[in-house]
Every structure is written in structure tokens, then in C-alpha cells.
Amino acid sequence: MTARLDVDLDLFAANLRAVRERIAPAEHMLVVKDDAYGHGLVPIVRAARAEGVRWFGAFDIPTGLAVRDEAPDARVFSWLVGSADEARAGVDADLDLGVGDTALLEEVAAAGREAGRPARVHLKIDTGLHRNGIRPEEWDAAVARAAQLEQAASLIVEGVWSHIAEASDAEDDAARAVFDDAVRAAERAGLQPRLRHLAASAAAFARPEFRYDLARVGAFAYGIRPAGGPGEDELGIRPIGALRVDVRSVVDDRAILGLGALDGFPSSLAGLTHVGTPAGRGEVVSVDLDTMTVTGWADAAPAQTVTVWGADAPSVTDHAELIGSIGEEIAVRLSPLVPRVYRAE
Ligand SMILES: *Cc1c(COP(=O)(O)O)cnc(C)c1O
């Protein structure tokens, strides 16, 4: 085995506790999109359940169904519903469905009618990101229609939610004002959305007034700190993934490692970053398709292990900052062919 991602489930459990303490009394929805940010969906869901996580943020319906298989009694939120068939599958699996447009509201209601049980819906207000979400000018009509569909037992509006940029406090505050208006309008329309959720990792940690009832935290749970933001110590988290690779060969003063661009390591990091070798820091001088070359250490030898990220090496965010990216992007690019190896005491 030449490259593998070691995932430390004890560190994951500690991060989950840190998240929970930080955001209480709001509840943590663990976001598990992109194969749990590259750490492997099923083992992450299992470990989170053992730690008492009750809400999972699954992005699309296939991921939601996979989480449901592992977690029969959890709440599973999927906010990408791609078709009427997916809406029906989501209702049948008792997923909580994020609904950000009025056509989808009708589809989800139809799925609830067909299934003979109300679809669980979280209505999304567009608070300024314009990615998805019901526009404020269409909101009153949408909540009025949702109230009718709720009366008809086709759906039940469990929540109101949105997503914010977390780039500037002023923009986020403006988004929050739009959000609060939307919740009030929903209540005026006769809905009782019990679950309001707006924040992801950064706002949930830094800004209590953004926590509401649920906070959708992904990155920080995996120990991925924000680019240009506070460090792991300040946040009280540790990276749970360590990407390790064995030295394949040593040529002159260069060690060749069996991990390259095809495995998901960005070739743009060549010449910019370093990795952790048995003798300390090793400079990454080139990244090819399936290998990378690191300036050797005095007694570099085949089969020694180098840490590319995590543990004592740079974090995914340290690497990402060198190429104007974010840690999540590096983590999720790691090829699924690289085995994930789980460890817990
Ligand atoms: C990815 C995502 C999150 C989690 O964001 P983190 O910054 O990783 O905590 C929350 N909400 C939505 C809608 C997302 O797409």
C-alpha cells in the first residue's frame, strides 16, 4: 500500500464535542457531503452516531439515502433534489428536504401525497447568495402555498433555512435580517417552522446570533480550518485525516513518492509546499501524474513514510493557502482509490 489517508476517529470525536460545546444550545447538523469531505461517508456517519450526532447534512438525495441506511433514526437533510423521482425517494426514506424553488415545492408535495405521508420540508430563502433559494419577493406567495399544502397533509414545513457567504460580517448581518423577515412571514402565513438554520462552520463558531436551532457544520468537524482565518488551536479542533505515502525510490538527493496529480494532489503546489519526512521538512519539487518528488533527507530510503498533510505535516488548508484555494477543496480531491484507514483507541 503506497498511499493512504489515515483517519483518526478519536480526534473526530473530540472535534464533534468541541463543535457541540461551542454552538450549544443549537444542535449540530454534521455535513457529510463529498464523501464526508473525503474522509469516507459510512465510517464517519457511524462514528458520529456513536458520539450522539442526530442530524446529518447530506447535500444530494443519493447521499441522504446512504446516510439513512446507516442511521435509521437520524434526521437527514438533503438540499439538492434533482427530480420528481428523487423527491419521492427522499420522502420514502423520511429525509428532510431542502426546497429552494416553488416548482420543487409542488414536486415534493406531490411526492408526499403519493407516499401517503407528508414530505418534511425546509424552505430556503435566498438571503443574497443567489445560488438557490426562494427570492424575497416571491417568499410570501411561497409560504402561503406551503401553508395550503401543509393543510392538505402533503407536506410539513419543519424548517426555514439559508446559506450565507461567511466572507464579511456586514454581508452576513444583512443576510440575517432577510432571514429573520422570512421566518416571521412564514409564521404569519400559519406555518410553524421549528428549525431555523443559517450558519456553517465559520459563522456558527464566531457569531452566536447565527446559530438559531441548528448549525450545519462540516469543515471544522473534520479539523479543517478556514483559509486566512483562525488556527486549529484557537478553534479547538484538530485535523482528523493524515495523508501518508511511502518512498518509492531515492535518486541522488531526491525521494520519489507514489502519489501524484491523478491521486488528487494539486500539481500547482510543486515548488511551493513541503511535506513531513522522517527527518523534518521536505520540499516538494515536482508533482507528476502518479508520483511526486521531494528533496531528500540524509538517509532517505525506500519504504520510509512521508506525511503529505495532517498530523505534523502541513494541513490541507496550509497547502490550499499557497494556491489561493481552501482546505476543503484539497481534501475532497483526494482520489477514492486512495484507501481510507480508520483508527480509534
Ligand atoms: C458545505 C455546506 C455547509 C458546511 O460548510 P462548512 O463551512 O464546511 O461547515 C453548510 N451548509 C451548506 C448548504 C453547505 O453546502
Average pLDDT over residues 308-324: 97
CATH 3.20.20.10 fits 9-222, yes or no: yes
Average pLDDT over residues 295-313: 93
> Which residue has a Cα nearest atom 3 of ligand 1?
200
Average pLDDT over residues 332-340: 97
CATH number listed for the domain at residues 241-343:
2.40.37.10
Q: Is 235 in the pocket of ligand 1 (CB under 6 A)?
A: no
Per-residue model confidence (pLDDT) at position 129: 86
For 296-335, the DSSP string reads --TT--TT-EEEEESTTS--HHHHHHHTT--HHHHHHHS-
Cell of 13: 470525536
Per-residue model confidence (pLDDT) at position 293: 97
**Burial zone of 32 (CB within 10 Å; 0-12 exposed, 13-18 middle, 19+ buried):** buried
Per-residue model confidence (pLDDT) at position 1: 60
Averaged pLDDT of the chain: 96
Cis, bond preceding 25 (omega within 30 deg of 0)? yes
**Burial zone of 303 (CB within 10 Å; 0-12 exposed, 13-18 middle, 19+ buried):** exposed
Torsion, Cα 151 60 79 88, to 10 degrees, reads -10
Q: Where are the beta strands (DSSP E) in the chain?
A: 3-8, 27-31, 55-60, 75-80, 96-99, 119-124, 155-161, 195-197, 214-217, 241-251, 254-257, 274-277, 280-287, 292-295, 305-309, 340-343
Q: Is 201 in the pocket of ligand 1 (CB under 6 A)?
A: yes
Q: Residue 98 CA: which ligand 1 atom is closest?
A: 13
Q: How far is the CA of 201 from the centre of ligand 1 (A)?
A: 7
Q: Is 163 in the pocket of ligand 1 (CB under 6 A)?
A: yes
Scanning 152-246, the segments in alpha helix (DSSP H) are 169-188, 201-206, 232-235
Q: How far is the CA of 186 from the centre of ligand 1 (A)?
A: 24
Domain boundaries, the chain: 9-222, 241-343
